[in-house]
Amino acid sequence: MDLRSVIRTIPDYPRPGIMFRDVTTLLADARGFRRAIDELVQPLAGAKIDKVAGVEARGFILGGAIAHQLSVGFVPVRKKGKLPYKTIGERYSLEYGVDEIEIHIDAVAKGEKVLLVDDLIATGGTASAAVRLIERAGGEVVLCSFVVDLPELGGADRLRAMGKQVVALAAFDGH
């Protein structure tokens, strides 16, 4: 099964010229979802992972399933103001402004090995902020995993430039 075949493309969303890669169709396909989780776990065979960090919101779905399969804890990486306990945050640039993501101050212990997961890597702004945030908390990001890579936007290369290993299950041309 080619995972690309179960990922819907929505033209001109959220604005003209964008080809939105919608993984909700993958999540709804039992075989596709299972295969994606298995393939995201496979590069970790034999590796010690303490936590899986999933970026809001589809990264929660993928990360939760991966954490369950690995029998490790899950860390939600959320937009500012969404977590109920004390947090640490990391700001990052958007096309038109700045945003911030947060984790709880006790989500990652010093020296823990962390897998970072999200559905898609585009420019890498959110993912690189998540890496910096996890590392500031004392964790070590050992792998950044995505279902979809948009290589023309350079996000995976941005993470590699930070010294991170990147895995993506499918690549799509364009934005």
Query: Which residues are designated catalytic?
Result: 58, 95
Which residues make beta-bridge pairs with 21? 9
Q: Tokens 């050992």 belong to which residue?
A: 142
Q: Tokens 């934005």 belong to which residue?
A: 175
In this structure, the strands spanning 87-94 and 113-121 are unpaired
DSSP letter, residue 57: T
Say which CATH topology domain 47-170 has. Answer: Rossmann fold (3.40.50)
Q: What is the pTM of this model?
A: 0.96
What is the residue extent of each domain of the chain?
47-170
pLDDT one digit per residue (tens) for the chain, 175 residues: 899 999 999 999 999 999 999 999 999 999 999 999 999 999 999 999 999 999 999 999 999 999 999 999 999 999 999 999 999 999 998 777 899 999 999 999 999 999 999 999 999 999 999 999 999 999 999 999 999 999 999 999 999 999 999 999 999 987 6
User: What DSSP line would sit under 1-59, residue for residue?
Assistant: --GGGGSEEEET-SSTT-EEEETHHHHHSHHHHHHHHHHHHGGGTT----EEEEETTHH
